[in-house]
Amino acid sequence: MKRAKIAGTGSYVPENVVTNDDLAKRFTTSDEWIQERSGIRERRYFTPGKDTVAGMGVQAARIAIERAGIEVEDIDFIIFATLNPDYMFPGSAVLVQRELGLNAKAVPSLDIRTQCTGFIYGLSIAEQFIKTGQYKNILLIGSEIHSSGLDFSDAGRDVTVLFGDGAGAAIIQPSEDENKGILTTHLHADGEHAERLAVLAPSGSKPRHLTHEMIDDRSIYPVMNGRYVFKFAVEKFPEVIHEALQATGYKPEDIDMLIPHQANLRISEAVRKIMGLPEEKVHNNIQRYGNTTAASIPIALHEAIEMGKIKEGDLVCLAAFGSGFTWGSALIRW
Ligand code: UT7
């Protein structure tokens, strides 16, 4: 079986920069509180009428396609991860397919909903299809517009300050060199905690899936038990990174670059210390983009590559934790 590799990456963030001070004009918060608790200085918000969830994904995808040295027509499978799709149905993968003109070839297009772990789940799915030889150029996208669904009142301030909009993409191909590429992926979930980080409405299980009451009682907005999520994340990130290391016989010190899902700079720092990694071996950009959920790993990965922080032969670890709860890791020989 052929090993899978990431052949190219891309990212897109909307141009509209929203600082902590901008948020402090809309509800009771401060730059100091946000930076101290999360490390975030600013995030991007989409421009309605210009940016869409699928469209931002396409922008990131075009860069990934170019970096991989392939043509759009070479793509034979699309995987799209988001928690806020353009429509309730169909998913956004078919919108990407149409925008790229791949509908003429009826390229299969799959949406996945595993929130902050979306990119890792998507990477693992892509890896399996590459290994079996079914597909040869898989486009994997993580794209999020959070700002249209956030609660800009004091009631939602704990969640609202954390999230930003953006998209990242990768092309997954068979590796010609059997020693290079994705060495292992590990996926987990624990539905016991489903409502601890969730948006509960609209809901297909209510008599009407969207009502005025849902808007009035704010159940259309994300709810989060922040402290609970924080503790769980700090436990699960190292656990799932160790799982990947054990599966491949590597040690923490063998990791050249860790790209953690950008949930909170304090979480990333805690994980870095638990893993015993120096600062230069962990790439963070949450300071500028906030938490972009499924997009955060591909945005950070693309940035690290473009900055020359990831070189051929490096051992790269990706790890994520988020709503579900879901968590996962991937270890890649670059
Ligand atoms: O991918 C996973 C996504 N989620 C996460 O990673 C979130 C993980 N959790 C966290 O990052 C942290 O729990 C938060 C940053 C969300 C919150 O930090 P915290 O230290 O757990 O604060 P807290 O929720 O316990 O709130 C402390 C205080 C409260 O006031 P009182 O009760 O002490 O008077 C909050 O009402 O801070 C208040 N507060 C705020 N103050 C200013 C909550 N949000 C804000 C805000 N600005 N935005």
Active site residue 302: no
The rounded distance, in Å, linking the Cα atoms of 41 and 38 is: 9
Name the residue at shortest CA distance from atom 41 of ligand 1. Answer: 29
Name the residue at shortest CA distance from atom 17 of ligand 1. Answer: 226
Domain positions in the chain are 4-174, 181-333
Q: In this predicted model, what pLDDT tens digit does every residue of 126-160 receive, in sequence order?
A: 999 999 999 999 999 999 999 999 999 999 999 99
User: Which class is domain 181-333?
Assistant: alpha beta
Q: In this predicted model, what pLDDT tens digit does every residue of 43-92 receive, in sequence order?
A: 999 999 999 999 999 999 999 999 999 999 999 999 999 999 999 999 99
Is residue 71 within 8 A of residue 50, CB to CB? The reply is no
Q: In this predicted model, what pLDDT tens digit does every residue of 87-108 receive, in sequence order?
A: 999 999 999 999 999 999 999 9
Establish whether domains 4-174 and 181-333 are of one fold: yes
pTM score: 0.97
Task: Answer yes or no: is pLDDT of 2 > 90.
Answer: no
Pick among 1.10.10.10, 3.40.50.300, 2.60.120.200, 3.40.47.10: CATH of 4-174:
3.40.47.10
Give the closest residue to 293 by CA, choosing from 201, 171, 206, 165. Answer: 165
Cβ of 230 closer than 6 Å to ligand 1, yes or no, is yes
Q: In this predicted model, what pLDDT tens digit does every residue of 176-206 receive, in sequence order?
A: 999 999 999 999 999 999 999 999 999 999 9
Name the residue at shortest CA distance from atom 47 of ligand 1. Answer: 29
Task: Answer yes or no: is pLDDT of 303 > 90.
Answer: yes
Amino acid at 8: G
Cβ of 202 closer than 6 Å to ligand 1, yes or no, is no
Q: In this predicted model, what pLDDT tens digit does every residue of 211-255 receive, in sequence order?
A: 999 999 999 999 999 999 999 999 999 999 999 999 999 999 999
Reported as a pLDDT band with limits 50, 70 and 90, residue 12 is very high
135 C-alpha vs ligand 1 centroid, how far in Å?
A: 43
Is the omega angle on the peptide bond into residue 325 within 30 degrees of 0, that is, cis?
Answer: yes
Instruction: Return the HEC string of 156-212.
Output: HHHHHCCECCEEEEEEEEECCCCCCEEEEEEEEECHHHHHHEECCCCCCCCCCCCCH
Give the closest residue to 263 by CA, choosing from 230, 241, 231. Answer: 230
